[in-house]
Structure 1
Amino acid sequence: MVQYRLFFVLLFVGFSYPGISQPRALVFQSDFGLKDGAVAEMKGVAFSVSSDLKIFDVTHEIPVYNIWEASYRLYQAVPYWPAGTVFVSIVDPGVGSDRKSVVLKTKTGHYIVTPDNGTLTLVAEHLGIEEIREIDETKNRLGNSGKSYTFHGRDVYAFTGARLAAGTITFQEVGPKLSAQVVRMDYQKPVLVNGVIKGNIPALDIQYGNVWTNIDMEIFGKLGVKLHDKVHIIIYDNGQPMFEEDIPYVNTFAGVPVGKNLVYMNSLLNFSLGINQGNFSDKYKVSSGPGWSISIWKTKQ
């Protein structure tokens, strides 16, 4: 009986005493895919740091070398996780080069462990930079990995992210503080000029082929478009027009007949294009990235 009482006392203390911190969630994303053991190696390293870690994934299907996509998927996912969550993002075509390995703390209290190669573009812009530290590999690198030059995702980022999430190190122990600047990728930011909004197509709703823009509800609202009004759309690939049409604005896919085009606000409350039970991206050969842009205005009714 005494042993049981002691067990419950320790359990209570472990969950409630402010001096005992619980591990943060550790969330991975990469362009590694799941065809081989790379992701399992990273998670194995993390669990070797602490078997108590709770590990999750954004995705491991980022198109290879697509730094922009990595940046967008962080922007999409990070805000919906609790403050303190540690994200490890590895899309690193420059692995082994002189690009910096960093941990960025956002103003929302999230941590991003990644190469500073443009991956932090959208997180820095939308969530803000509280502080950045460069990873000190003399202290924060997997043991006996010094001769491995091509898998920093495992040897540096997964290891450091796990140590930070587990509380083995503090943020200050990651390494030296850097200026609050990151490598940023250029793209068309949303602007409204003379009744025309210009913006970027940062990503696709991949499973369904919907086309997402960075034009948020606030700036779109300035056009005065009401439900079922038509919006004139022109989509460009590096300045080359690829699609042009007047499309009705609705709030659900069922707002138009099956097979018809629509524009709507997606789950991030950004202006988007789709087909009711169809694939807009495939049908019109529209993709995404920093070179894809869009112009929209209210069609005269």
Structure 2
Amino acid sequence: MPTPARSSFPLAIITDFGYRDHYAGTMKGVIASIAPAARLIDITHGVPAQSVVAGAIALRESWRYFPPRTVFLAVVDPGVGTARAPIAIETRAGARFVGPDNGLLWLAANQAGIKRIVKLTSPRHRLISVSATFHGRDIFAPAAAYLWRGTPISALGPALRSTSIVQLDLPRPVESARSVRGEVIYVDGFGNLVSNIDRRTAEQFATRFRHKSLSVRIRGGAAMRILNAYGDAPKGVPLAIFGSFGLLEVAIRDGNAAIHFAAGPGSSVSLVTRAGRT
């Protein structure tokens, strides 16, 4: 049985498995067999299929809102069965991350402060038979469950240097004479287009132009005002807003911006002064 301290933190799961198949449920069954008292929280199983970047962003935006020492099991793994390593990461903030070494864990773990990384090789802490296509069930779920139970991370396999794992770098906005050019890095389930332009960058840009009014263009289209809330725009009208990510996003009031603009990850987003052109 877990100690009261251990039972105070959950085991949280994020995958691209979707909700149609048995994959996510089977992983939870493995966890229940090893750590039956673990409290499981599904962050999401709706990460776009094989989108490591979307999964990494979702994990980065989630981890800090969980109790210290939460174990995060993340599986978006298009390289399953290849030479990519299965890893676990312990952080200075207390959070532990388990998943493939393909950049999926990097944004969150780096933000939390990487303390130790191991390669998951211990045969005692995985299923006896390991499939070439379902490491979520056979390697990652057991490792996460044993970590939750109190198994030291060092028991799961040999240590790795932080410089040896895949580091995911998101594109950065580029500032020119009269604009900040960024791009969409994430599309949420509402079709909101989240860019890589953060509020601080926008504020610094505005200061350069003595706080002149700013507007936003996506894919070189018509200018949009930056509003404080989705509801500040009329229904069906495009708008820009700094959302819960702390990043500039393009939305449609009561609509889907991704469909409206035929836009997605990589689409250009520009912040300009009212007189600026993209």
The alignment's TM-score, normalised by the length of structure 1, stands at 0.82
Kindly indicate whether residue 236 of structure 2 is the aligned counterpart of residue 273 of structure 1: no
Amino acid at match of 2:94: G
CA distance in 1 between partners of 2:152 and 2:110 (Å): 25
Deviations 1:77-123 (A, max 9, x none): 11211221111111112111111110122342211101101212422
CA distance in 2 between partners of 1:21 and 1:253 (Å): 40
Pairing 1:105-254 to 2, within 5 Å after superposition: 105-142=90-127, 144-146=128-130, 148-167=131-150, 169-181=151-163, 182-206=165-189, 208-224=190-206, 229-235=213-219, 243-254=220-231
**Cα deviation, residue 234, structure 1:** 4.0
CA spacing shift, 1:183–1:271, aligned 2, 3 Å: same
**What is the SS of the residue equivalent to 1:258?**
coil
Q: Once structures 1 and 2 are overlaid, which stretch shifts more, 51-60 or 175-184?
A: 175-184
CA distance in 1 between partners of 2:212 and 2:39 (Å): 45
CA spacing shift, 1:160–1:34, aligned 2, 3 Å: same
**What is the SS of the residue equivalent to 2:50?**
coil
**What is the SS of the residue equivalent to 1:244?**
coil
**What is the SS of the residue equivalent to 1:201?**
strand
Q: 1:32 aligns to what?
A: 17
CA spacing shift, 1:281–1:60, aligned 2, 3 Å: same
Do the aligned partners of 2:183 and 2:195 also contact (CA within 8 Å) in 1?
yes
Do the aligned partners of 2:182 and 2:196 also contact (CA within 8 Å) in 1?
yes
CA distance in 1 between partners of 2:96 and 2:226 (Å): 37
**Cα deviation, residue 58, structure 1:** 1.3
Equivalent residue pairs, number: 271
Amino acid at match of 1:299: R
CA distance in 1 between partners of 2:106 and 2:267 (Å): 16
Q: In terms of Rg, which structure is larger? A: 1
CA spacing shift, 1:191–1:139, aligned 2, 3 Å: farther
Kindly indicate whether residue 277 of structure 2 is the aligned counterpart of residue 294 of structure 1: no
Give unpaired runs (5+ residues) of structure 2: none
Amino acid at match of 1:270: L
CA spacing shift, 1:183–1:296, aligned 2, 3 Å: same
CA distance in 2 between partners of 1:172 and 1:120 (Å): 18
Q: Once structures 1 and 2 are overlaid, which stretch shifts more, 174-183 or 187-196?
A: 187-196
Deviations 1:44-103 (A, max 9, x none): 110111211000111112222121111111112112112211111111121111111101
CA distance in 2 between partners of 1:82 and 1:122 (Å): 18
Do the aligned partners of 1:263 and 1:272 also contact (CA within 8 Å) in 2?
yes
Do the aligned partners of 1:210 and 1:280 also contact (CA within 8 Å) in 2?
yes
CA distance in 1 between partners of 2:112 and 2:6 (Å): 25
Q: Percent identity?
A: 30
Deviations 1:139-196 (A, max 9, x none): 3212x324x32211011100000110121x1122222111113313454213434342
Do the aligned partners of 2:9 and 2:67 also contact (CA within 8 Å) in 1?
no
CA distance in 2 between partners of 1:185 and 1:79 (Å): 19
**In the alignment, which of 80, 90, 115 is matched to residue 75 of structure 2?**
90
CA distance in 1 between partners of 2:93 and 2:272 (Å): 34
Do the aligned partners of 2:14 and 2:74 also contact (CA within 8 Å) in 1?
yes
Name the Cα RMSD after superposition: 2.4
Q: 2:42 aligns to what?
A: 57
**Cα deviation, residue 298, structure 1:** 1.9
CA spacing shift, 1:23–1:98, aligned 2, 3 Å: farther
Give unpaired runs (5+ residues) of structure 1: 1-13, 236-242
The alignment's TM-score, normalised by the length of structure 2, stands at 0.88
**What is the SS of the residue equivalent to 1:139?**
helix
**What is the SS of the residue equivalent to 2:87?**
strand
Do the aligned partners of 1:205 and 1:211 also contact (CA within 8 Å) in 2?
yes
CA spacing shift, 1:294–1:128, aligned 2, 3 Å: farther
